[in-house]
Amino acid sequence: MYKNSSTWKEIPGEITTPKGYVASAIHAGIKPGSTRKDLALLYSLNPARGAGLFTTNRVVAAPVRVCRQHLAESRGRIQAVVVNSGNANACTGRPGFIAAQQTAKEVAKVLGVSRSSVLVASTGVIGQPLPLERIQIAIRPLKGLLCFEGGRDFSEAILTTDTRPKVCVLQSRLGRESLTLAGVAKGAGMIHPRMATMLAFLTTDAAISTPLLRAALKTAVDESFNRLTVDGDTSTNDSVLLFANGAAGVEEISKRGKPFEHFQDGLAQVCTSLAQMIARDGEGASKFITITVAGARTASQAEMVARAISNSPLVKTAIAGADANWGRIICAAGYSGASIDPDRIDIGLCGVQVCRRGQQIAFDELRTKQLLSGPEIRIDLNLNQGTQQARMWTCDLTEGYIRINAAYRT
């Protein structure tokens, strides 16, 4: 049944495509002056197993603290998440924490579920009081709008500076049954997740025990959202939440083995797909960049090099300018903290080798410039020191990033 672990197929859909999930969104008026939908609700008709991963920033937004509390109190039995955009509810002190708790409590009440089975997430400006009353007024209508087609509205209401929704749905047929995995994410700036990302919500109708769900999420996030950077800023609100409600009617995954590996595989695919969508939609981005560092002594050395390159504004502006400026790439490798040997490094740009053993080699500048003018950029390094590798995704750094962020709050 699970012979081939790559049987997950991407299908059109939304976060409500797995069985047993409904969603909705509404304009609550959280950000002054905006007319967009800014409050969203996801609800599993059955109690689901849940797992979450959150920001490693020491400044932790109120909704993240409420999520941690509720996941602990409910022992991972969750049923809903309510999300607002337009306000991060971070650095809002005790009133902000109470506002997040109150939001969860009132959603629980209208849904008729326990308070601790409701999670909350927020994204937007840091340090502004959350307008709780506007949320309270909107909760009942938001519940009234819940439907199986509500995933699209949900994916739009959670956006901030994003230019488009980010959704991925995978399906796997198992004889006459099928399992579905879906994910939706938001994020375009303040992106440098370590352990989590801006906001991502994942649903599945698989049945799986809570410890295995947590393990699968951690592995998937390490390979996906944690390989992503837009600007090196780790947010206060990063949250990835995963719901597994068992509504597919497929046997519960309660131990490691083929079924678990299959699930892990699909989850990593969804997360990777969402992480790449975030990089593609990075603030002001015109190009998606994949950095692969091979031939390292250890995976963590490879990651240090890939991370330094992916965070270098000089590399990212060179790519914006379609400039085969490999000197900036080797320079970033040099200050990454990894024990590289510059005289061994090979560098390729979009498949064209431009540097061999630390020195420039003859290459077709014009053709390389053409390749670097495209929307998909590959930077490949071989450190020629070992067999380990790592990969990171990022985007180029353009004047658009500056325009967006010099004007975002006001």
Q: Which residues bind its own copies (CB under 8 A)?
A: 56-60, 88, 90-93, 125-129, 189-190, 192, 231-236, 311-314, 317-318, 320-321, 323, 325-328, 330-335, 338-343, 355, 357-360, 369, 397-399, 401-403, 405-410
Q: Between 145 and 404, name the residue whose CB sits nearer to its own copies.
A: 404
Instruction: Pick the closer one to its own copies by CB: 131 or 165.
Output: 131
Measured from the CB of residue 292, what is the shortest distance to its own copies in angstroms?
19
Which residue's CB is nearer to its own copies, number 172 or number 394? 394
Question: HSE on the CB side for 393, CA within 13 Å?
Answer: 26
Given 197, 203, 272, 394, the catalytic residue: 197
Q: Which is nearer to its own copies, 236 or 239 (CB)?
A: 236
Contacts of 377 (CB under 8 A, 6+ apart): 287, 288, 289, 290, 319, 349, 350, 396
* C-alpha span between 179 and 207 (Å, rounded): 9
Of 4 and 410, which CB lies nearer to its own copies in the complex structure?
410
Give CA angle at 267 (299, 308), nearest 5°. 30
Q: Residue 363 — left, alpha, or beta (φ > 0 → left; ψ -120 to 50 → alpha)?
A: beta
Q: CB of 95: closest distance to its own copies in angstroms?
A: 9
Q: How far apart are CB 42 and its own copies at their closest, in Å?
A: 26
| 254 Cβ contact partners less than 8 Å away, ≥ 6 residues apart | 208, 209, 212
Helix, strand, coil shares, percent, the chain, to 5: 35, 25, 40
Helix (H) or strand (E) holding 150: none
Concerning whether 197 is annotated as a catalytic residue, the answer is yes
Report the nearest approach of its own copies to the CB of residue 187 (Å).
13
Are 257 and 266 in contact, with CB atoms under 8 Å apart? no
What is the nearest approach in angstroms of its own copies to the Cβ of residue 33?
15
Tokens read off for 308? 């330094």
Q: Between the CA of residue 330 and those of 290, 363, 388, what are the distances in Å?
A: 16, 17, 18
Give catalytic residues, as residue numbers: 197
